[in-house]
Amino acid sequence: MNTQDTKLLQEAIELSKRCPPSKTAFSVGAIIITEDGKKFTWYSRETWPIEHAEEVAIQKAQEAWASLVHAILYSSLEPCSERASKEKTCSQLIIELGFKKCVFAVLEDTRFVADCRGKENMENAWIEVIHLELESS
Ligand SMILES: [Zn+2]
């Protein structure tokens, strides 16, 4: 953990507060920093409802032809390990695309997902995972 991690995670949490409210899904803010310093951000329901913030931030980076190898993901919530509506989960995408590090603030709780293994899955794939509890004041 370093000051950049704290600063960018705080920024992801601020983004998550801009999400339109929903009773059925978390509000998540996500920021990607690529190895060459490009930045991509997204928050839940910024434009459409069912996408996950991490996933859309990844899509935006890919559309810009940014390499995600050794990129860092900051997310206000633990990336998911199970999804009903999509083929791939966010933690799977993070692993497959070669991210080197994932920093998140809140562990997925049991409200929507019984047993989230996002952190575990990424750690098993040798990604540095930092769970940083920050005050969301
Ligand atoms: Zn997800």
User: Tell me: the pLDDT tens digits for 55-67?
Assistant: 989 999 999 999 9
Name the pLDDT band for 47 (thresholds 50, 70, 90). low
Is the pLDDT higher at 24 or at 106?
106
Segment among 9-13, 55-59, 105-109, 112-116 with least mean pLDDT: 112-116
Distance from the CA of 53 to the center of ligand 1, in angstroms?
Answer: 7
Is the pLDDT higher at 84 or at 35?
35
Distance from the CA of 1 to the center of ligand 1, in angstroms?
Answer: 23
Distance from the CA of 137 to the center of ligand 1, in angstroms?
Answer: 24
Name the pLDDT band for 113 (thresholds 50, 70, 90). low
Q: Which residues are catalytic?
A: 54
Q: What is the mean pLDDT of residues 68-92?
A: 90
Name the pLDDT band for 83 (thresholds 50, 70, 90). confident
CA distances from residue 34 to 4, 46, 120, 123, 130 in whole angstroms, order as listed: 14, 21, 23, 19, 17
Distance from the CA of 90 to the center of ligand 1, in angstroms?
Answer: 4
Contacts of the segment 80-89: beta carbons below 8 A, 24+ positions apart? 80/52, 80/108, 80/113, 80/116, 80/118, 81/113, 81/116, 81/117, 81/118, 81/120, 81/121, 82/113, 82/115, 82/116, 82/117, 83/52, 85/50, 86/55, 89/118
Residue 137 pLDDT more than 50?
A: no
